Amino acid sequence: MIGIVNYGAGNIFSLTAALDRIGVSYGMINTKEDFDLYGHIIIPGVGHAGAAMKKLQDSGLVDTILALKKPVLGICVGMQLLTSYSEEGNAEMLSVFPLRTLHFDKRIHEKVPHMGWNSVHIENDCPLFKQISDNAYFYFVHSYFIERDIRHVGASCSYGLSFAAAIQKDNFYGVQFHPEKSGAAGEQLLLNFSRF
């Protein structure tokens, strides 16, 4: 069973719908004790990273998340929370990864946000992409990106520059795109994670 951290940053309808479609059961995590009920944890998130971090801190769940040994997947802003710092709101993040979340603006000439389907190159044999072909397309909507660092990158994507589409470190994973909106490839990725 997957536990979804319910800290109030963004709507999770699409995520639960995707889990329903692939037949993976789930529940909501509202308290520290709830983490014990689940084998896998997803941290969702849309909107402002600084604001999301504030909400997560207010939820009182930060210490428990940092101590988790179960597989954890951060999605979009949920992934950015796992980095050390975000330029969005100039905010300190959870520092699970020694990576920064940076703004596309002024660094690329392309339109911002990076919105739509982009191809994703698998790196470091990231197990999230098992049975997914290299350069498969995933759906992105974001204005901030996580820098690509060879030690932690699970997949990269190119939009004016090369950034981390997926990151991995021990039991922690993150994806910048929205697997719940990324067709069959996205559903496969969620299924892969549920089997870790």
CB of 177 to another protein, least distance (A): 11
Q: Does 46 bind another protein (CB under 8 A)?
A: yes
Residue 190: helix, strand or coil by DSSP? helix
Q: How far apart are CA 101 and CA 57, in angstroms?
A: 18
Instruction: Considering only residues 83 through 112, tell me which ones interact with another protein, judged by CB under 8 A.
Output: 110-112
Q: How far apart are CA 178 and CA 32, in angstroms?
A: 26
Which residue in 140, 131, 149 sits closest to 110, CA to CA?
140
The catalytic residue positions are 76, 178, 180
Q: Which range binds another protein by CB under 8 A, 13-21, 62-70, 81-89, 148-156?
A: 13-21
Q: Does 45 bind another protein (CB under 8 A)?
A: no
Type and span of the H or E element at 120: strand 114-122
Task: Give the pair of three-digit tokens for residue 144.
Answer: 């901030």
Task: Give the pair of three-digit tokens for residue 37.
Answer: 């009920």
Q: Does 28 bind another protein (CB under 8 A)?
A: no
Nearest residue (CB) to another protein, 147 versus 187: 187
Task: Give the pair of three-digit tokens for residue 51.
Answer: 């604001």
CB of 121 to another protein, least distance (A): 11
Nearest residue (CB) to another protein, 68 versus 113: 113
Nearest residue (CB) to another protein, 35 versus 139: 139
Which residue in 45, 88, 47 sits closest to 65, CA to CA?
45
**Residues at the site binding another protein, with contacts judged by CB under 8 A:** 11, 13-14, 17-18, 20-21, 46-48, 110-119, 137, 139, 141, 158-159, 178, 180-184, 186-187
